[in-house]
Structure 1
Amino acid sequence: PQAPAQIADRLLAEAAVIRRAARSSLVTERQIALGQYFTPMWVARLMAAMCETNGRSVRMLDPGAGAGTLFAALAARVLAQGGGVRSFSITAFELDPALRPFLERSARAVRRASERCRVPCDIELRQEDFVEWGTRAELGDLFSEARRFDAAILNPPYKKLNAGSDLRRRLDRLGIAAPNLYAAFLGLAVGAVRPGGVVVAIVPRSFCNGTYFKRFRRYLLDSATIDRVHLFANRDRAFGQDSVLQENVVLSLRKRPARVSRVSLSFSAGSETDPIWSRRADPCEIVRPGDPDLFIHLPPDAWNMRLSRAMESLPCALDDLGLSVSTGPVVSFRLRKWFAQPGDSQPVVPFLHPANFRDLVVRWPIAGRKPQALSDVDETERALVPSGWYVVTRRFSSKEEVRRVVASVIDPSFAGAGRYAIENHLNYFHRAGGPLDRDRALGLATYLNSLCVDRYFRQFSGHTQVNATDLRRLRYPSEASLSQLGSSIDTPLSGESADEALRRYCPELKDMLEPNHAQDRIDEALSVLRALGLPREQQNERSALTLLAVLDLSPTAPWEAATAPLIGVTPIMEWVETNYGRTYAPNTRETFRRFTLHQFVDAGLVVPNPDQPDRPVNSPRYCYQIEPEARALLKTFGTGQWETMLARYLERRPELRVKYAQFREMRKIPLVLRDGVEIGLTPGGQNELVGQVINEFCPRFIPGGEPVYVGDAGSKWAFFDRNLAAELGIAVDEHGKMPDVVIYDRERGWLFLIEAVTSHGPVDAKRMGELKALLASAEPGLVFVTAFPDRRTFLRFFGDIAWETEVWIAESPGHLVHFDGERLLGPYGGE
């Protein structure tokens, strides 16, 4: 019998296939109307891992099940635990009848897996609206002790709720002030779990701040405690297949009265290949004690936590400065009849829109569709402000903006007008409705444009909207500091220039603006990778930290102190945690190796195993070292020699790459394919067995077979016939997990997919599903073969091998072992 972990893996593979089929069936108009965005499989696994349950019997809730991906992932996690859970049940809601067939397929897959694990399960599929059901007659049933769930896992739909709707009123009566549908789902899910139960949801981060969600945050934090949070650094990646541009978080909540002593914060760039690093935080770092607005702060590291404390200790609130911030008073559609243009015969005033602010100052008038003037009449008088100095910020920052808060000034000399009209897509700072003095306006704008304000703002603001409420919450330097700063400049400063000015003129910010050495060093390493011309896929924090590790450069060490240690992948990850506070999950080791170190080797930047060049790839002592000339170059970074040395290095780099490539080539296993094509495989790993597959298996069982692909444990792509692949309809994802060997038998119309197994990776049920999905476009029938070096290795994996596959053992090359099915050798599935 298969182990529970293997059964769980097969269930996940089936769920991935079902999800793909369901997603391809969606009609765009209906998807948008229902707010349907299916959870990517890797996110589902992440969420299931965060959904920690205990007890012998587990009741699960999936309130918006879609194709069943999330409940399947959670069931797989429960089953993989082995004997910990004796039984479980799933209640899944899905409104869309078009998804019912996929939901039933997922339920059947879960039942089959539970039967194989001998864990009884009960699954109830309800075709109805969870929120409607939860707030009507069944409300008492949902929240009764007998019906409460141990765990809820959800990816709720994203839609606004009409403020005056009956549904909003019913939610309000329950104390769930939900401005939109995702908040309603999350609030009801929290109500549906038992005390101490867990809710895991992927939701937009927008609920973390602002007046709009204040009552909802109060309900959520009164009902549950935040246990874990996962953030995605890139907002276009988590749901990238659906082109969703949204900053999302995965939130794990424990129903009160449960308490947590530490909150786990984890981070990734937002795709499956990105490593995940994490930190533990005190709950008061997340929600400040005594904060009446209950903003949820998510500082990514200790430096940002110190920044947060420093920002909150600044001496002044806006009231202390005698200032206020308001939304621009002109609502365009209400005053449309009074739109005008400069120079019109009737009295007009400048009408200022976000487009009028460029380079941090006002530009008026400008060409475009926006009206540049508003009639100065009785009907518009209440919407006008007296002329003078004002600080203005956009309420909505574009995705291209480097900073969330972009502050400009209105200099009264721009128009010579007595009053202005400020459109309501702007916030403006004023003194009792009137202007500021010049120095304070310039100082205030520079403060708002600083990097420290931007970094602090991002800790609690998960969207591009900058509300007046958020600006009121900020603490500010003293009036004297702002005025002294403003008197020293002619226009607002921004970014590093603003930080430098604040350091000079605002003593209360001096200590806070000391450099973040760790982040500065990471940024320097990124600039080095760009200067060396590394591909964009390697211009990321993971690769920057790897470069620093192979140089043994701590945050405060100068570049000239770079050394050249011999260091392996796991030691690199441990070094990064010790020196830069980034704790990466152990299962991201392959990401470091395949998506950073391989490319560093190819670029001639690092050398593998200089102490023992023939060390096998799978050796625990496999290591890397910075290439000597690269180290000599990098020791000059930040000095006057850098540009000259860089130019000389780049000129020589092709020669260096050839030198090291030839050196690696000399150590490779030579292999001759059909028609005399010669390739070389990196020594070690399963490559010796791959050579035996080509030389022994293929002549016996696929005479005349045409190689399509041969993998290499060291470089992955030893051989790939793209023309033949195109002829066979094979569309290969470069990042997909290809089998070790792919051979085409033209006479029989079969495609052999061969896995060479020395330590792991036979064709089990999960792997078969992956290969079918990877090669779904292939026209020939698929034949699955697992190759072992000897019977002893074969017996180790005997229980894992999938039915309807073949096994070849190199020590007995003339024989095949056939696993079930109606054919001794050949494809299945109707071919």
Structure 2
Amino acid sequence: MINKKLSRDSLEADAMNFVVHGAPNLYGFFWAKSAIELRQNATSVFIVPRSWMSGAYFERLRAFVFAQGSIVELHAFDNRNNVFGSTKVLQELVIVVFKKKRVDSVQIWSHDNITSLEQSESILVPRGLVVVGDEQRVYLITNAHQLALAKWAVALPSTFLDSGLKMKTGLTVCFRNRDLVEDEPSANNVPIFYADDFYGHEIRLKRESSQYLSKKRAGLLQDNVDYIFVKRFSTKEESRRIQTAYYEAERFSDEKQISTDNKLNFVVASSSDLLKGAFLVMSSTIFDEYYRLLSGNTQVNLTEINSMKFPDKHSLATLGKKYTISELTRMTQERIDQIMLTNFGGES
């Protein structure tokens, strides 16, 4: 494994510019070059970070190598702390067996660590459920439940963006704008919301300091309308990656504008009913599990969310119209999952 980030003007990036998108990584160049040199029907094996499987930075790499051949095996590890014993490699790694030939299925294993390779069981997954969408993101499906989840997701009729929704990243990087952050409200500032302002599925002003932002920079301000707030970061130990709260503008009716911290993502929608329906879907267990198939990161990536399969706009708005915001934010997880199952199928 060669995991090293390079600058876009490096000699390596210039030589392999056909797979460069965003911040290049040396292992991507090595894989692309290996795919070129590999003989037809021959096989190569790589131990690499999981990062290549999704995200815009590796989109060109995926497009190139999948035009050359196919993944025939994927080996994932349940615990990133002991993949290579006591070497203290903490990166989430996968072993990829690549063949310079088109194949229709992928054999996928999940192992505890490198010493359990022979004891683990695998699952055979159709290629169309592993390599998905125009961006050819790779879903890590290691058991029958995840296979059923992938089939459910592929059958959804729309995408997040096509359903009239869009996720964006919070506007204010606070450490770069310390001079604008204030402790007390005034006519010259607005509330700025953080990931630690979540109170269950509600949003409350909880900070004793740094809760307000000066109006001096218009580019850091946004309209005070309803949003779905999503924590941008979680820990490996937390039970959910997609952690949601419904921001109800009416609760802060004195404000015409607000701001959001950069460690927060927010979702906008073309109608309030659509936003409420989307909130139910995004707060469900099945959607969280669906996202985990795609990404091993603890960061919720807006590019990935915006391209994910999703129920259609009409169905979401029809669902959202049935519930008040107060009802949504007080629902138990079991109730949310049952509503999801009834309206959009799947398992939770």
Q: Which residue of 1 aligns with 2:130?
A: 286
More helix by share: 1
Task: State the distance in 2 between where 1:476 and 1:389 align.
Answer: 20
Counterpart for residue 108 of structure 2: 265
Query: Which amino acid counterpart does residue 235 of structure 1 have in structure 2?
Result: R
Task: Measure the CA separation in 2 of the matches of 1:311 and 1:492.
Answer: 27
* SS of alignment partner, residue 194 of structure 1: coil
- Greater radius of gyration (CA): 1
Deviation at 1:230, TM superposition (A): 0.7
Please give the residue correspondences for 1:45-444 in structure 2 after superposition, counting only pairs within 5 Å: 155-156=1-2, 158-172=3-17, 175=19, 179-239=24-84, 241-255=86-100, 258-270=101-113, 272-273=115-116, 275-288=119-132, 291-343=133-185, 347-367=188-208, 371-377=210-216, 380-415=217-252, 416-431=254-269, 437=272, 440-444=274-278
Picking from 288, 293, 296, the partner of 1:454 is 288
In the aligned structure 2, how far is the partner of 1:312 from the partner of 1:261?
A: 17
Aligned CA RMSD, in angstroms, stands at: 2.6
**Amino acid across the alignment from 2:256:** G
Matched, 1:502 2:344: no
Aligned mate of 2:304, from 470, 478, 481: 470
Q: TM-score, normalised by structure 2?
A: 0.87
Task: Report Cα offsets for 1:706-734 as digits up to 9, x if no partner.
Answer: xxxxxxxxxxxxxxxxxxxxxxxxxxxxx
Letter in 1 for 2:48: V
With normalisation by structure 1, the TM-score equals 0.39
- Code of the aligned partner of 1:326: K
Task: Using the aligned pairs only, state the percent identity.
Answer: 27
SS at match of 1:312: helix
Contact kept, 8 Å, 2:129 with 2:154, in 1: the verdict is no
In the aligned structure 1, how far is the partner of 2:149 from the partner of 2:130?
A: 14
CA deviation after TM superposition for structure 1 residue 420, in Å: 0.9
The 1:476/1:264 distance shift into structure 2, 3 A limit, reads closer
**Cα separation, 1, equivalents of 2:73 and 2:66:** 14
Partner SS, residue 309 of structure 2: coil
- CA pair 207-171 structure 1, distance change in 2 beyond 3 A: same
Could you say what secondary structure the match of 2:289 adopts? helix
Q: Is the 8 A contact 2:84 2:114 kept in 1?
A: no
| Structure 2: runs of 5+ lacking an equivalent | none
1:338 Cα offset (Å): 1.7
What is the rounded CA distance, in whole Å, between the counterparts of 2:31 and 2:162 in structure 1? 38
**Deviation of the 1:277 alpha carbon:** 0.7
Q: Is the 8 A contact 1:397 1:464 kept in 2?
A: yes
SS at match of 1:382: helix
Tell me which moved more, 358-367 or 380-389: 358-367
Letter paired with 2:212: A
Q: Between Structure 1 and Structure 2, how many residues are aligned?
A: 341
The residue that corresponds to 1:92 in the other structure is none
Residue 277 of structure 1 aligns to which amino acid in structure 2? E
Q: Secondary structure at the match of 1:404?
A: coil
Work out the CA distance in 2 between the residues paired with 1:491 and 1:206: 33
Give the letter for the 1:498 counterpart.
Answer: I
**Quick check: 1:396–1:464 contact (8 Å CA) kept in 2?**
yes
What is the Cα deviation at residue 460 of structure 1?
1.8
Query: Cα deviations across residues 186-207 of structure 1 (Å, max 9, x unaligned)?
Result: 2233233223222211111111
1:458-504, CA deviations, whole angstroms, 9 ceiling, x for partnerless residues? 22212212111111122333221233255682416464432113234
Asked if the contact 1:351–1:372 (Cα under 8 Å) also holds between the matched residues in 2, the reply is yes
Query: Structure 1 442/305 Cα, relative in aligned 2: closer, same or farther at 3 Å?
Result: same
SS of the equivalent of 1:428 reads strand
Alignment match, 1:772: none
CA contact (8 A) 1:407 1:448 kept: yes
Following superposition, the deviation at residue 387 of structure 1 comes to: 1.0
For 2:54 and 2:320, the matched residues in 1 are separated by 27
Consecutive unaligned residues of structure 1, counting only runs of 5 or more, are 1-154, 516-831
Deviation at 1:410, TM superposition (A): 1.2
2:202 and 2:79 map into 1 onto residues whose CA distance is 30
